[in-house]
Amino acid sequence: MKSPDMDAIRAFFLVAQFRSFTRVADTMGTTQAAISLKIKRLEDALGRALLDRTPRRVTLSAHGQAFHANAQRLLDSYNEAMGCFDTPKRTLRIGVSHHIVGADLSYWLQRLMAADPEVVVAFSLGTSRELLDGYEQGKLDVALVLRHDNRRQDGEVIGAEHFTWMAVPTLQVAPDAPLPLAIQPAPCGMRSMVSSALQAHDRPWREAFVGSGILAIGAAVAAGIGIGAMVGRMAPACCEDVTKRFGLPELPIRDVALYTTHRDVQVRHLTDTLVAAMSHRG
C-alpha cells in the first residue's frame, strides 16, 4: 500500500464534514477537480472506496466511516508533529517613564524589535508613580522609571538624567513676575521636584500650561507658553537652557531605575537594549 498524502486525507476529512466538493475546494483554496483527484488517489492508495457519490450528494461509504475516526487521529498527530518547533511568541509588558523617552520612541522600538523579533513588546508610557504602581500590581514585567524618592530601593540603577530649565529664546519674563511654567498635573514627582527647587530659592511661579506627558510639555515650551523642566535631549530643537538667563536654581539629577522580576537571558537581553537606547544621543 502506498503511503497516503496528508493533503488528500485532509481533503477527505473536509468532504466528510461539508458533504460538498465545492465547499472543500473553497476552504483549501483549490478547484473541485483537484479535490476529486486527491480523494481518488487516496482511495487508490487504500484500495477502498471512501465515498458514495450521487449527482446530488456525497456520503461516506462503510469503508469511509471506518477510516474517518482514524483519519482524525492521523491529522491530529501530523499537525502536532509539524508544529513541534512552533512556540507562541512571548509578550513582555514594558513601561517607561515619559520623562526618559519622547520623540526618540521610534528608535527605542526599532532597537527592541531588532533585539528579539520573537518577543511581542506591550509598551506603555506614564509617570514614574503610575508605572511603579502598575509594576507592583503585576501589570508590568519591566518598569524603567525615574527615582524621585525612597519608595523602593530594590530596582537596578542603570543611569541618571539631568534636568534643566528649557524655553524658547524669545520668551520674556519680568524680574518680579511669577515664573510661567509648563508643568505636569499633581501628583507628580517632577512637579514636586520643580516646585521644591523654586520654593527653596523663594522664586514664585504660576501655571502657564498643565499637561500630561513630556511631549505635551515640550510642545507648550516650543510654543512659547512657558518654561519647562526636562532632560536637555528631550527638549524641542527650538529651545535652549535658560537657567542662567532667568537666574534659576539647578535641578537635581535623578537616578533611572530598572525594575523586573524576570531574570532570564531573553529579558536580560531586552533590558540591556533599553539601557543602550536610553544612552543613545543620536
Q: Is the pLDDT of residue 1 over 60?
A: no
Report which of 46, 48, 52, 49 is spatially closest to residue 74, judged by C-alpha positions.
46
Q: Which of 40-44, 137-141, 233-237, 244-248 has the lowest mean pLDDT?
A: 233-237
Residue ranges, CATH 3.40.190.10, the chain: 90-159+254-278, 162-253
Superfamily of domain 90-159+254-278: Periplasmic binding protein-like II (3.40.190.10)
**Nearest-angstrom CA–CA distance, 256 and 206:** 28
187 cis-preceded (ω within 30 degrees of 0): yes
Judge whether 222 and 168 are in contact, CB under 8 Å. Answer: yes
Report which of 264, 280, 177, 271 is spatially closest to residue 227, judged by C-alpha positions.
177
162-253 is a CATH 3.40.190.10 domain: yes
Which residue type sits at 89?
K
* CATH class of domain segment(s) 6-82: mainly alpha
Pairing of strands 142-147, 119-126: unpaired
pLDDT of res. 209: 93
Q: Is the pLDDT of residue 206 over 90?
A: yes
Residue ranges, CATH 1.10.10.10, the chain: 6-82
At residue 215, the 3 state secondary structure works out as: helix
**Nearest-angstrom CA–CA distance, 85 and 70:** 25
pLDDT of 148-170, one tens digit each?
665 566 778 887 888 899 999 99
Look at the alpha carbons of 225, 227, 231, 236 in this order and tell me if their dihedral is positive or negative: positive
Between residues 182 and 108, the one the model is more confident about:
182
Nearest 5 degrees, angle CA 142-CA 147-CA 148?
A: 140
- Beta-bridged to residue 119, according to DSSP, are 90
Mean pLDDT of 134-145: 88
Q: Which three cell numbers stand for residue 269?
A: 537581553
Q: Confidence band (pLDDT; 50, 70, 90) for 282?
A: very low
pLDDT of 122-131, one tens digit each?
888 888 888 8
Q: Confidence band (pLDDT; 50, 70, 90) for 18?
A: confident
Share of the chain above pLDDT 90, in %: 15
